[in-house]
Amino acid sequence: MKTAKLLVASLMVLGLSSVLSANPLINEAKKAGLVPLPKDQKGVDKILKDNNIKTTPFSQAKAELGKKLYFDPRLSKSGIISCNTCHNLGLGGADGIAAAVGHKWKANPKHLNSPTVYNSVLNTAQFWDGRSGDLADQAKGPIEAEPEMATPAKVAVEKVSSLPEYVNEFKKIYGSVTFDNIADAIANFERTLLTPSRFDKFLEGDGNALTKAEQAGLKTFIDKGCAACHNGVNLGGSMQAFEVAGKYKFAKLGGFKGDKNGMVKTPTLRNVEETAPYFHNGAIWSLQDAIKEMGSTQLGITISDDEAKSMEVFLRSLTGKKPAITYPQLPVSTEKTPKPQL
């Protein structure tokens, strides 16, 4: 009798699994290059390895140290700008303004928008022009850049080295305080900022994880060709040609032209409803308007209001669960800590 019950239970599980994965749109999405988020850091490692992205071994100790550094405004020249200023974890990992504001409260000289930090470890390119291939290298850029945090590497090391609590942690984890190790710790924290959504459950085989309206929007998204650029685990994050079929109507704002070949990093669509304004120069605030602009600029087609609304419904399903982040208590400054300079 017990064997019969187990057999029935097994058949029911198999039947449920079959029903969940029977949705043909799941396979269509996978064929379009859409991939679910990894479930843990081993999964992150695999994706990084598959994409030849440089990384160091992850550890929770590194991530905890990196979290403090991520929130520490003393890494900036003024002492009031941290990584979280432009990549606010309470605002979708971005800042909600058109152009990033940095040292002396000046807007980015090229009017560049702050991309989200959530899931950014899985991008195959970092920065709008793709000049960094991994998060640790990317983390160095804003710290040193004059329009951003304006702290030379040597001064950043001097600041961190003036705080005994940091020094002890770096000695225990890395052996010493270096600019490379500061950046690596921040990158380890950013590795933890994954946001799984119902869309990932859908790709994993749960055909009912998305509503009928969301599935219709996904179907339109694929049929229109959006997945040609917005694909992979982040539905973006790779370098792609820009203005393929037409001119971006706000191209002159900031004058950014991409890398030397005119390629621009495709922004991730994960949590996109939380990261307005859109495009590299933050010129469009409406998600539907952004969808229509991509139709004319990249695909050479006109996307109707109804189609844009449908795709927007799908894109909102990409809003994921954020990891719980407790604001860290930072080490107390000492007499040796370089003073802020406004």
Indicate which residues carry an active-site annotation: 148
Tell me 285's DSSP state: -
- Furthest C-alpha separation in the chain: 79
Rounded to 10 deg, the angle between the 212-223 and 24-31 helix axes is 30
Burial of 214 (0-12, 13-18, 19+ CB in 10 A): buried
Give residue for tokens 């609304």: 309
Tell me whether residue 280 is annotated as binding: no
Give residue for tokens 């208590």: 329
Tell me whether residue 226 is annotated as binding: yes
Tell me whether residue 149 is annotated as binding: no
Gap between the Cα atoms of 319 and 29, Å rounded: 18
Structure tokens at 110: 């090229």
Tell me whether residue 239 is annotated as binding: no
Where residue 164 falls (left for φ over 0; alpha for ψ -120 to 50; beta otherwise) is alpha
Helices (H), the chain: 2-20, 24-31, 41-50, 60-71, 83-86, 135-144, 153-161, 164-173, 179-191, 198-203, 212-223, 287-294, 305-316
Tell me whether residue 87 is annotated as binding: yes
Gap between the Cα atoms of 1 and 69, Å rounded: 61
Residue type, 47: I
Tell me whether residue 230 is annotated as binding: yes
Q: How many residues does the chain have?
A: 342
Q: Which strand (E) or helix (H) includes residue 264?
A: strand 263-265
| Annotated binding-site ranges for heme c | 83, 86-87, 103, 226, 229-230, 294
Which residues contribute to the annotated binding site? 83, 86-87, 103, 226, 229-230, 294
